[in-house]
Amino acid sequence: MEQLLAWVKKLAVFMILCSYMEHLIPSHYKRYFHMCTGLILILMISTPLLRIVHGDMESEVICLLENLRTSSKGYQTDSTLEQEYRDYYMSQYKSAVTEQIEAQARSEGLCAEKITFSVDEDPESSSYGCLTDLALTVTKENGRQAESSAVTRLKKNISRQMGIQESRIHLSDSQTLLVRQ
């Protein structure tokens, strides 16, 4: 929500400055000014949308995690409604984590075939919403056995991005276990 508010503020400041500058520019340059400011405005509007489309899921995962935390405290009156709300956001969070792990694997030239993980679902815990275990089956995108260097990089990237210890990540291919603890 704060990001949206900051984005709207930037657009408003830009539009105010453009209207002020328009009065300072000679009339025969106004069409060039309008063209340039129009292109800049298009970029300012499309940048957040392109991030969402191109899979910048990290901010979305953080937002979902924050919704999980606030929803567990916000609905204390009706326990069934609270549980439904928490279950909905947890399922959304899990699907976003799955997409993020698949994107990480693709960035290493790997294909994530089977993703199994567990999440701390205790709202009172300080690690609420964090991954506790991750099991992942990977192959190369062409179907062959994955190289251990790519798997090691993937493991480090997932550990850093998801905040899970590398020892809790278990990667394997369809034949053998690639990385142990």
Give me the residue spans of the domains in the chain. Answer: 2-53, 58-179
Q: Tokens at residue 70, please?
A: 């606030």
What is the spatial distance between Cα 70 and Cα 26, in angstroms, rounded to a whole number?
53
pLDDT tens digits for 4-22? Answer: 788 889 999 999 999 999 9
As a whole number, mean pLDDT of residues 119-146 equals 77
Rounded to two decimals, the pTM is 0.52
**Among residues 138, 132, 133, which one has the least CA distance to residue 152?**
138
pLDDT tens digits for 18-27? Answer: 999 999 999 9
Q: Report yes or no: 126 and 77 within 8 Å, Cβ to Cβ.
A: no
